[in-house]
């Protein structure tokens, strides 16, 4: 058979470059636009603010009876250990504090947690909350868990984010006074960079947790999950631990799904379907850790950051669902999106509220 | 790609550039710090460790590479007599308390309680750090920590910040000894306050760290399966003194 000679010219790199001469300026323009035009994930960040704030608040309240002993003057025995950890003023303010000052500090941390949850003056409250919460943790880092470390880092990033754009006292006050918030471009840039840092930190946590696990023999042979839940420290409900670990298939599947979900997490964020699968799997893993291993604050805090990966459209759909459920009890009125909400999710530009996640 | 409608503002571009470089640098440093030992990580030391001191400190090898696979117990007893009588032993009338499993006592309130407070983790968290600090010691130093160091005698028989210690030990050895000593002082301090809480005070404490491996997976259904506990023993030490504020919280 005779080969036909190609009439059209073969693809070449130089041709592609000449056709896409404006690729770099276009890309830079797109990056500039992404960082300056909108403050992204305003609802996701609001959910992260409320949920992580609630978990910290719960953690602070649960520890009230022992706080003076664990983080207050009673923690003085930790001085040889904590003196080399590098916490500087104001984060080391409690090291020589008496009981009165510690109690004041702890109460203030609770008040700030409440202000953070409701979204009141978040530009001022977030850095203060970080200082008050971290200073308490710095007193006794050995009793901290991954959640304590994680949220401390997240709070540093969140200082630069606009956390009260929606679902906050600040936004309610603005609406009531019919005021619109002037958004400075440079502040929008910092907000979006903070969001990128939150997502990057999340990816680092899951990816590294997964990669370290695959190096372990017990994770490789699919039995790792059995050990912590069978220990006294993490097997809070022995009957539940026994129930789960009796069947070797369940143990192996949970062990492998944990590792796969963690390693795959960053890569599954690129497509909305795989992102949904990743978020649901990770949420399931966190619920399991919270209940079976008795670590609700650790799991809750870690999972709360995942909220930024859920789109505004989905959060609004969830809000409407809850709202309908609530109103259905009192009157039959169908809730609808406000104009600002429609702009937020791009309803006018053809993006369906329920089609995004 | 969307086209930018307005001309980029110089100030915004500057903010974007500077903040992006800072953010990328931070994330790169986080990856290096939390990741395994690599030539990149080594070349960035000691600046990397300094940067992550304090609030940025982190590590994400959660339950890895080996999961938590043993129960850890901090056990202790004290000498209730004066230091002079305690030093002479029970044949001279020294009174000793019974051995107490502090971790088991603390964890009683955790059984069946997801929302248990952090007191349940206190002695266990000291155990973990002290055990690993002791594991980094040489066999000779490990044997030494089981000896009594009382009535002001420094542990290892030498002040670890002295010129004598620098002559006696290599730099790595000395660094491990100091890290161990910091944790031992913490553990002895904790035991001293626990003694105040339980017996109103003591002059000396003795500590035993016990680890009980979980029954292997293959034997989980065997009710008679047992594992061999391991121990790290820390000999008698003088109790530590604390401020009135600390004592009043524990009393």
Q: What are phi and psi of B73, to 5 degrees?
A: -130, 135
In this structure, chain A runs to a length of 357
**Sign of the CA dihedral with A52 first, then A145, B113, and A302 last:** positive
Please answer whether residues A222 and A258 qualify as being in contact, where contact means their C-beta atoms are separated by less than 8 angstroms.
no
In chain A, what residues touch B19 (CB-CB under 8 Å)? 189-190, 193
Q: Quick check: B6 pLDDT over 80?
A: no
Structure tokens given for B171: 């730099």
Please indicate if any CB of chain B lies within 8 Å of the CB of A78.
yes
* Residue bearing tokens 């937020």: A344
Query: CA distances (Å), A137 to each of A100, A145, A149, B128, B217, in order?
Result: 18, 10, 9, 18, 36
* Residue B101 Cα, gap to closest chain A Cα (Å): 14
Closest CB to B64 among A58, A219, A230: A219
Per-residue pLDDT of chain A in tens (357 residues, 90 and over written 9): 455 555 566 788 888 888 888 999 999 999 999 999 999 999 999 999 999 999 999 999 999 999 999 999 999 999 999 999 999 999 999 999 999 999 999 999 999 999 999 999 999 999 999 999 999 999 999 999 999 999 999 999 999 999 999 999 999 999 999 888 788 999 999 999 999 999 999 999 999 999 999 999 999 999 999 999 999 999 999 999 999 999 999 999 999 999 999 999 999 999 999 999 999 999 999 999 999 999 999 999 999 999 999 999 999 999 999 999 988 877 655 556 665 566 665 544 433 333 333
* Residue bearing tokens 């089981």: B146
* Residue B92 Cα, gap to closest chain A Cα (Å): 31
Question: Between chains, do B249 and A72 touch, taking CB under 8 Å as contact?
Answer: yes
Question: Between chains, do B58 and A296 touch, taking CB under 8 Å as contact?
Answer: no
Question: Between chains, do A193 and B70 touch, taking CB under 8 Å as contact?
Answer: no
In chain A, what residues touch B115 (CB-CB under 8 Å)? 58, 62, 296
Mean model confidence pLDDT for chain B: 95
* Residue B118 Cα, gap to closest chain A Cα (Å): 7
Task: Tell me whether 0.90 is exceeded by the ipTM.
Answer: yes
* Residue A212 Cα, gap to closest chain B Cα (Å): 5
Question: Between chains, do A99 and B245 touch, taking CB under 8 Å as contact?
Answer: yes
Q: What are phi and psi of A305, to 5 degrees?
A: -70, -25
Q: Give CA–CA dist B192/A58, Å, rounded.
A: 31
Q: Give CA–CA dist A266/A248, Å, rounded.
A: 29
Task: Report which DSSP code applies to B230.
Answer: E
Please indicate if any CB of chain B lies within 8 Å of the CB of A223.
yes
Q: Give CA–CA dist B33/B27, Å, rounded.
A: 10
Please indicate if any CB of chain B lies within 8 Å of the CB of A8.
no
In this structure, chain B runs to a length of 251
Please answer whether residues A151 and A301 qualify as being in contact, where contact means their C-beta atoms are separated by less than 8 angstroms.
yes
* Max avg pLDDT among A320-324, B157-161, B243-247: B243-247
Among candidate residues A240, A320, A252, A357, the one with its CA nearest the CA of residue A287: A240
Which of A189-199 are b and which e, b meaning 16 or more Cβ less than 10 Å from the residue's Cβ? bbbbbbbbbbb
pLDDT of residue A354: 36
Q: Give CA–CA dist B246/B251, Å, rounded.
A: 9
Q: What are phi and psi of B152, to 5 degrees?
A: 85, -5
Please answer whether residues B243 and A72 qualify as being in contact, where contact means their C-beta atoms are separated by less than 8 angstroms.
no
Structure tokens given for A237: 């409900």
Q: Give CA–CA dist B155/A65, Å, rounded.
A: 36
Closest CB to A73 among B192, B221, B243: B243
Q: What is the pLDDT of residues B17-66, one digit of tens each?
A: 999 999 999 999 999 999 999 999 999 999 999 999 999 999 999 999 99
Q: Both ends of chain B: CA-CA distance in Å?
A: 67
Closest CB to A296 among B114, B128, B220: B114
Q: Give CA–CA dist B135/A326, Å, rounded.
A: 58
Please indicate if any CB of chain B lies within 8 Å of the CB of A254.
no
* Max Cα–Cα distance, chain B, nearest Å: 92
Please indicate if any CB of chain B lies within 8 Å of the CB of A147.
no
pLDDT of residue A337: 62
pLDDT of residue A15: 87
Substitution target in B33, B62, B192, B227 with the highest count of A β-carbons within 10 Å is: B62
pLDDT of residue A8: 61
- What are the domain boundaries of chain B? 10-56, 70-250
Task: Give contacts of A 297-356 with B, CB under 8 A.
Answer: none
């Amino acid at each position: 058979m005779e080969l036909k000679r190609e009439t059209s010219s073969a693809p070449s790199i130089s041709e592609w470059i000449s056709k896409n001469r404006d690729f770099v300026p276009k890309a830079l323009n797109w990056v500039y636009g992404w960082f300056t035009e909108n403050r992204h994930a305003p609802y996701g960040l609001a959910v992260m603010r409320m949920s992580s704030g609630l978990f910290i608040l719960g953690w602070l309240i649960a520890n009230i009876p022992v706080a003076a002993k664990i983080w207050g003057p009673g923690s003085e025995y930790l001085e040889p250990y904590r003196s080399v950890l590098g916490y500087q003023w104001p984060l080391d303010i409690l090291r020589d504090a008496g009981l009165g000052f510690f109690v004041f500090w702890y109460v203030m941390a609770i008040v700030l947690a409440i202000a953070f949850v409701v979204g009141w003056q978040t530009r001022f409250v977030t850095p203060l909350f970080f200082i008050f919460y971290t200073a308490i943790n710095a007193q006794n880092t050995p009793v901290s868990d991954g959640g304590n470390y994680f949220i401390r880092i997240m709070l540093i990033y969140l200082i630069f984010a606009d956390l009260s754009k929606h679902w906050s006292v600040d936004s309610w006050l603005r609406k009531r006074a019919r005021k619109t918030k002037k958004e400075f471009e440079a502040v929008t840039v910092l907000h979006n960079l903070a969001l990128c840092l939150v997502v990057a930190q999340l990816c680092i946590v899951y990816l590294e947790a997964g990669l370290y696990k695959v190096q372990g023999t017990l994770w490789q042979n699919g039995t790792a999950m059995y050990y912590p839940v069978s220990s006294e420290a993490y097997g809070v409900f022995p009957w539940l631990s026994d129930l789960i670990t009796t069947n070797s298939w369940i143990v192996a599947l949970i062990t492998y799904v944990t590792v796969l979900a963690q390693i795959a997490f960053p890569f599954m964020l690129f497509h909305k379907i795989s992102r949904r699968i990743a978020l649901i799997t990770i949420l399931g893993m966190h619920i399991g850790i919270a209940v079976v291993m008795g670590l609700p604050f650790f799991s809750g805090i870690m999972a709360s950051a995942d909220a930024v990966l859920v789109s505004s459209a989905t959060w609004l759909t969830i809000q409407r669902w809850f709202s309908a459920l609530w109103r259905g009890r009192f009157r039959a009125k169908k809730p609808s999106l406000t104009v600002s909400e429609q702009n937020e999710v791009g309803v006018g530009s053809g993006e369906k509220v329920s089609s995004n996640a | 790609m969307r086209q930018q409608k307005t001309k980029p503002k110089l100030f915004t571009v500057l903010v974007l550039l500077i903040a992006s470089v800072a953010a990328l640098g931070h994330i790169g440093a986080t990856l290096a710090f939390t990741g395994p030992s690599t030539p990149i990580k080594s070349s960035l030391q000691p600046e990397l460790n300094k940067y992550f001191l304090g609030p940025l400190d982190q590590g994400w090898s959660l339950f890895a590479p080996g999961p938590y696979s043993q129960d850890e117990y901090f056990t202790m007893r004290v000498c209730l007599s004066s230091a002079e009588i305690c030093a002479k032993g029970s044949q001279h009338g020294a009174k000793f308390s019974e051995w107490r499993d502090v971790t088991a006592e603390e964890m009683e309130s955790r059984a069946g309680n997801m929302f248990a407070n952090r007191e349940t983790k206190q002695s266990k968290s000291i155990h973990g750090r002290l055990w690993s600090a002791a594991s980094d010691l040489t066999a000779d130093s490990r044997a030494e920590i089981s000896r009594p160091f009382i009535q002001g005698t420094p542990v290892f028989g030498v002040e670890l910040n002295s010129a004598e210690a620098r002559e006696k030990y290599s730099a790595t050895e000395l660094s491990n000894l100091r890290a161990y000593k910091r944790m031992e002082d913490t553990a002895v301090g904790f035991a001293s306050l626990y003694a105040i809480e339980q017996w109103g005070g003591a002059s000396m404490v003795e500590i035993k760290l016990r680890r009980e491996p979980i029954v292997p997976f293959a034997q989980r259904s065997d009710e008679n399966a047992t594992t061999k506990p391991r121990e790290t023993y820390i000999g008698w030490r003088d109790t530590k003194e604390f401020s009135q504020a600390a004592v009043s919280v524990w009393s």
